[in-house]
Chain A
């Protein structure tokens, strides 16, 4: 469902992704591991369409369509979700109204009517409970003053609300305590199904022990240098990248 071919991307004239090839099938879970600065977030941002990421050459097709020519919001409405490594603060915008608005943007694109306030609250309560998110967090401003872990949980909550078909998680596990990691992984596992594809960027084996990947890719210097099954993650955990 996602095909990356010979992708070269530079940021501020610096070539970061070099001839990257990666293919994700429907319903599969792929993990990407790799040292700091190897270009993992860059691939996530490029797929989501962040401005100032220059695609020098290469192609990406998403469900058979050219991904790179679309605006970021169109990619989102097409089902691509990126859980940010560093979620952005939106001061003044309450989390509840933000969440409702993004849900409605997706409903609108499917020609559905805006969600009923009562129904939304019910869903929000249910999904927040699963992630141990207190409801009063939703009356605060989006990510503003949230702890590192709260921000990550809020990303998973949005992922859950928007029902995406391709989920890219950029170090969603970093910053979560042991219990939070467990509840988050459970929530993610519930989202796993035969139609939904995952690309999980992580530094730690721990998350992959909860969410078992079908493939593990090792990233170095802007491209994939090795691909294996989940045993590759254990190997890296013990031996490192050298």
Chain B
């Protein structure tokens, strides 16, 4: 393939790079008390929420940007960002879809997430977050009938303050680290889920995050609570326009599972990754943590990370309840100049707690892809068990893959099993497939999808096929 073709090819491959031409309303640039008060006011928040934000902001003054990850990053000027942007005249969330600006509906339609009644995906409830506000939530009433609360967190703060107050910051302490604290001070919107005792949520819940405005950070905040004996499967998707600047997405996601509850949380992260020379793209600095608070509870993270210029993300499980289980299934794909530093922490506190980590890293182009993980057994975590498998696949010879699995074992009855492999797609494999009629891209995509199948299978069925396609698209232009 000649050079010109290849470039065109690459440009086509991020099909979510368009900008919605909609007037927006921003709070002035900068990070200060004034801005935080304005955000809180825009959202009609009660005083306790504002106080909570301001306390976080105060703590932030003594904190600095973390440097732990292996990433080359341009310094972010936090005073030069917008912290709040919403479509203009968006005073209150529209009561029905008829009131939603058609341009927004069209945007989600283009992204493959239809929101209008006739077209919604059966069995999937969607909360659509556009920059700093939630613009629509589908199937809300239907879920309400069985007591499931699924709404923007800004709404939950007003309508279910007792639940929010009890759980927000209970898994990720406000002072956890710089970005978590920043998020606590300025968070805009995200989803709130509460599954009552004994309810198995009958549909997939999902949130679709879209960054549209320029020079704007998105600070998503999501809180999911599964009460005793309940079950929920939740999925988030993310995209952003193609821009030359780097944009910040710093989310906090907290999950709480009580006795015998199970939360399955899946992510398909496809933020704009920057162009093939490494210009632009999202800085995706995310804190995700789940607390298996009750006995026999289970939290399972599945992530397909294909986008963003830089990803720092370690969805973790704190296994406090006896017999609780944490799982982490990850596919991280980096191409061109992308940098991903991702993994998980499994903190075993309770007896007979189990965790399983399956990480598949695929690096192509000049990218770098690191698995960073921690498995920790507390003194009281009798008979705790972990199984970790980290596989890296290299495409080409200019990319880097690292595996940094750390362990802390203070329990003498516990066991850790660790396997790691690094492989390359061989020319022999490509030739074999091509001899059977597959072109180079198809051959590579077959092999790569095989490599990460174990993880892709963990996604809700409705999204598995899309994810497979995404895996192929993310690597376009990387075969020689």
Residues of A bordering B, CB below 8 Å: 48-52, 71-73, 75-77, 81-82, 84, 87-94, 98, 101-102, 105-106, 109, 141, 158, 162
Contacts and interface: CB of A to CB of B under 8 A. Distances in A.
A90 B446 contact: yes
Given A90-B446, A105-B442, A73 B432 contact: no
Given A71-B439, A87-B432, A92-B449, 18 more contacts: A49-B435, A73-B438, A76-B434, A88-B426, A88-B428, A88-B431, A88-B432, A90-B446, A90-B447, A91-B451, A92-B452, A92-B453, A101-B438, A101-B446, A105-B436, A105-B442, A106-B437, A162-B437
What size tier do the contact residues of chain B reach? 20 to 34
B431 A50 contact: yes
Interface string B399-440: 000000000000000000000000000111101111111111
B173 interface: no
16 contacts: A48-B431, A48-B435, A71-B439, A73-B434, A76-B435, A84-B435, A88-B429, A88-B431, A88-B432, A92-B453, A94-B450, A98-B446, A101-B446, A102-B436, A106-B437, A158-B436
Contacts of A105: 436-438, 442
Nearest to B450: A92
A77 B433 contact: no
A84 B429 CA distance: 12
The 9 closest A-B pairs by CB, nearest first: A92-B450, A93-B450, A88-B432, A105-B437, A72-B434, A76-B437, A102-B436, A73-B434, A73-B439
A84 B416 CA distance: 41
B438 A141 contact: no
A75 to B, nearest CB: 8
B447 A162 contact: no
A90 B447 CA distance: 7
Contacts of B442: 101, 105
Contacts of A87: 432
Contact of A76 (B429, B436, B447): B436
B447 A92 contact: yes
Nearest to B360: A92
B434 to A, nearest CB: 4
Nearest to B431: A50
Nearest to A51: B427
Nearest to B429: A88
A134 to B, nearest CB: 21
Most B-side CB within 10 Å, residue of A73, A89, A141: A73
Contacts of B450: 90-94, 141
Interface string B435-471: 1111110110011011111100000000000000000
Q: Tell me which of B427, B431, B436, B447 has the highest count of chain A C-beta atoms within 10 A of its own C-beta.
A: B436
A109 B442 CA distance: 14
Contacts of B440: 71, 73
B429 A90 contact: yes
A36 to B, nearest CB: 20
A87 B433 CA distance: 11
Contacts of A94: 450
Given A105-B436, A105-B437, A72 B431 contact: yes
Nearest to B448: A92
A210 to B, nearest CB: 25
Nearest to B480: A51
B432 A92 contact: no
A76 B446 CA distance: 17
A49 B439 CA distance: 13
B430 to A, nearest CB: 9
A117 B435 CA distance: 23
Contacts of B427: 51-52
A81 B436 CA distance: 7
Contacts of A48: 431, 435
A157 B454 CA distance: 27
Nearest to A84: B432
A71 B436 CA distance: 12
A49 to B, nearest CB: 8
Given A72-B431, A88-B428, A88-B429, A102 B447 contact: no
B437 A77 contact: yes
Interface string B331-373: 0000000000000000000000000000000000000000000
A48 B446 CA distance: 20
A194 B442 CA distance: 33
A93 B446 contact: yes
A106 B435 CA distance: 11
A82 B435 contact: yes
Contacts of A109: 437
Contacts of B435: 48-49, 72-73, 75-76, 81-82, 84
A90 B444 CA distance: 11
A35 B442 CA distance: 37
A122 to B, nearest CB: 21
Contacts of A49: 434-435
Given A73-B439, A102-B437, A162-B437, A51 B447 contact: no
Contacts of B432: 84, 87-88, 90
A122 B440 CA distance: 29
B437 A92 contact: no
Of A90, A94, A109, most B-chain CB atoms within 10 Å: A90
Nearest to A80: B435
A106 B434 CA distance: 12
B479 to A, nearest CB: 12
A102 B429 contact: no
Contacts of A50: 431
A154 B453 CA distance: 22
Given A92-B450, A101-B446, A73 B428 contact: no
A185 to B, nearest CB: 22
Find the residue from B427, B428, B429, B432 having the highest chain A CB count within 10 A: B432
Nearest to A106: B437
Interface string B278-291: 00000000000000
